[in-house]
Structure formats: C-alpha cells, structure tokens
Amino acid sequence: MRVLVVEDEPKMRMLLRRALTEEGYAVDVAADGPQALALADAATFDAVVLDVMLPGLDGFDVCTRLRRRGKRVPVLMLTARDAIADRVRGLDGGADDYLTKPFSLEELLARLRALIRRGPAERPAVLHAGDLRLDPATRTVTRGETEITVTGKEYALLEALIRRPGNVLTRERLIEHCWDLATSPYSNVVDAHIKALRDKIDRPFGTTTIETVRGAGYRLRRDGGRPTSPARTP
C-alpha cells in the first residue's frame, strides 16, 4: 500500500513517515500544497494523509483540486481546528475522513486501514487465495492454521499480489506500489523480497503461490498455490 503524507511541520511529517513505514506502507511526503498535487500526478496512491494548514495551497484546496482532476484516492484530513464549519468544509471538499490534532497514531492507523479497505470501491476485510489468508486489520498472514511472520515490505508485496489474483504485476508496478519514488525501477529489490516471501509462504508448505512470468513480472495463483513437493512441517 502506498500513502502520500502532506504535512508542513517537519517533525510531524517525519513522525508520520516513520510510523507508516514501520507498518509496511510505502510513503512519499510533501511539505506544501503544490508539491502534493505534483506527487499525486506522478504516482498512484492508496490514500492521502492531508494536513489542512499548508503553505501555497491549504489542505481544503488540495483536496478539492484532487477531486476535480478525477482522483478518487481516499483522503484523511488532519487539522488543529475542531470547529464544525471546518469539518464540514473538508468533507464537502471531498475528504473521506477527518482527524483533529492531537491524535493517537493508533487511531490514525486504524482510520487509514478503514479508508484503504473501502478505497474508491469496497474491498474485502480479509483477503484469501486458497488456504492463504491475509488480514489487513491485524496485518497477519496465515496458511491454514499456521501464522506466518513477514516483514513490512513482504506484507506489502503479498497484499499487492493477493488483491489481484491471476494478474501479472510488473516489477515496475510493484516498486511503484510498495516503495517510494526514490527507488530505482531497475533495482532488484522486488526479486529479493519475492524470494524471501516464497521461503515463508510456499517452500515450507510444498506449494507454489507466487509464479514468475518470464519477461513480465509476478502473479499470485487464485487457488492459493499448487503442490510442488511433499510439504514439510513449517
């Protein structure tokens, strides 16, 4: 999942970036309204965390312009203002949710998960492919009755694949979805993380869930994996 954080206060911007990165999100940041709009045009985001008080263009204007450009990305607005009129203006301008400062990171993360789950179109609360199960609310991965420990990036890759079962995702698309804009599209970071992910969700269970499509990318089998050898005890 890829998130854009728009916050002009440096400490808050870095706090949000660190917290979201630790949760496995790919995070890009903007310090003002024009930069936020430029980033939104350059990449596809699953959600935007948008502060109201911004230089250049405030959060209300940024949100309105995003909607006018046809971008349906979920927007969570942050503000120190708690006046009802400001909340109404934000929601009427196209924001999907509103959080007043100060707030707890736990609540922000929960609200963000809910927005991403709904997205422009409703998404299932729990994702399945055969007996492979991914729960975005708890960020857990299980196969059958076995819980599998994955890193944040491994989780992000698996979520991108399991949301599009049977579809081939290019390395470039996976980088765009799971890493920030500073990551080179020619990096082998995707291949390294896919190998690590296979070592956890496939090889111990004698299955092949993530398939390599030569010259194209990777795809996840809709049935959750075909047997490759007698399963070992994980």
| 3-state SS string for 66-86 | HHHCCCCCCEEEEECCCCHHH
CA 194 to chain CA centroid, nearest Å: 17
Of 76, 96, 118, the position where a domain reaches its end is 118
Residue 232 domain-assigned? no
CATH number at residue 208: 1.10.10.10
- Digitized pLDDT (tens) for each residue of the chain, 234 residues in all: 889 999 999 999 999 999 999 888 889 999 999 999 999 998 889 999 999 989 889 999 999 899 888 888 999 999 876 667 777 777 777 888 988 888 899 999 999 988 887 766 545 567 888 899 998 767 889 998 899 999 988 998 999 999 888 899 998 888 888 887 777 767 788 999 999 999 999 999 999 999 999 888 999 998 877 676 544 444
Of 97, 118, 139, the position where a domain reaches its end is 118
Task: Say if residue 100 is in the same domain as residue 206.
Answer: no
**The whole model's pTM is what?**
0.60
Structural domain count, the chain: 2
Domain interval for residue 68: 2-118
Q: Which amino acid is at 151?
A: T
Q: Cβ distance 100 to 82 under 8 Å? A: yes
pLDDT of residue 172: 86
The phi, psi pair for 208, rounded to 5°, reads -125, 105
CATH number at residue 35: 3.40.50.2300
pLDDT of residue 120: 60
Q: Cβ distance 52 to 59 under 8 Å? A: yes
- According to the 3-state scheme, what is the secondary structure of 186-216? CCCHHHHHHHHHHHHHCHHHCEECEEEECCC
Report which DSSP code applies to 225: -
Of 118, 153, 178, the position where a domain reaches its end is 118
Residue 233 domain-assigned? no
pLDDT of residue 16: 95
Non-local (6+) Cβ contacts of 13 within 8 A are 5, 7, 29, 31
